Amino acid sequence: MSRNLRIIVVGIDTNVGKTVTSAILTEALQGYYWKPVQCGPLKDRDWVADKLSLKERCYPEAFCLHSPCSPHLAAEKEGLSITAQELIPPLCSAPLIIEGTGGLLCPLNSHETWVDAAASWRGLYVLVHRHYLGSFNHFFLTLEAMQRRNLPLLGIVFNGLSDAQTEAMLLKKANTICLGRLLWEPQLTPQIVQHLAKQWKETWG
């Protein structure tokens, strides 16, 4: 893959595995990690940095907000405002893995969503799907939003126990491939993340 590649990790919902997926992709591609907007007291950047074999591979956030809620609400609580044009990816000499905040249409302010910023970054998208009641609707709404904006989908990461029939249907509808799978682990250690990175990369050929 190109050294200047940007991979944008999005999910069909919040808490579907974007951060873990981002860490694995960063490790697999020996790239860098960036989350433009962090909401909540726990920094995903710190979690990812701890899991990588090469340190100093995480860029600081453009906005680091304390409230664990939507960016527009978290910013408002701190007397700030976020605009799409302020979210400028850092330049680096390796693939840059960008993790989204919430879902694709998570609001940044009263009139812009997260995808309004991401659409200008000229990256390839990885969509994270987790099986749960209602996930089909979230998947197809996200896919439709991406297709309407001509956002290139690199592949899907499935989180949870395998459901071959469902996954085959989703891959066919999205006209894409499975890039990797996440299974529940009692503790995601650096060793597990690095093992998954090697495993995923080997399947890519």
Beta strand extents in 40-175 (DSSP E only): 63-65, 96-103, 124-130, 153-159
Provide the terminal-to-terminal Cα distance of the chain, rounded to the nearest Å.
Answer: 12
Query: Which residues 6+ apart lie within 8 Å of 32 measured at CB?
Result: 26, 57, 58, 59, 90, 92, 94, 95, 96, 97
Choosing from 18, 35, 55, 172, which is the catalytic residue?
A: 35
Find the radius of gyration of the CA atoms of the chain.
Answer: 16
Could you give the count of Cα atoms lying within 13 Å of 61 in the half-sphere of its Cβ?
A: 20
CA 28 to chain centre: 15
Q: Are 64 and 87 within 8 A, CB to CB?
A: no
Residue 127's DSSP bridge partners are 10, 156
Cα 172 to the center of its chain, rounded Å? 21
Contact 108, 37 (CB under 8 A): yes
User: Would residue 35 show up in a list of annotated catalytic residues for this protein?
Assistant: yes
Q: Catalytic positions, please? A: 35
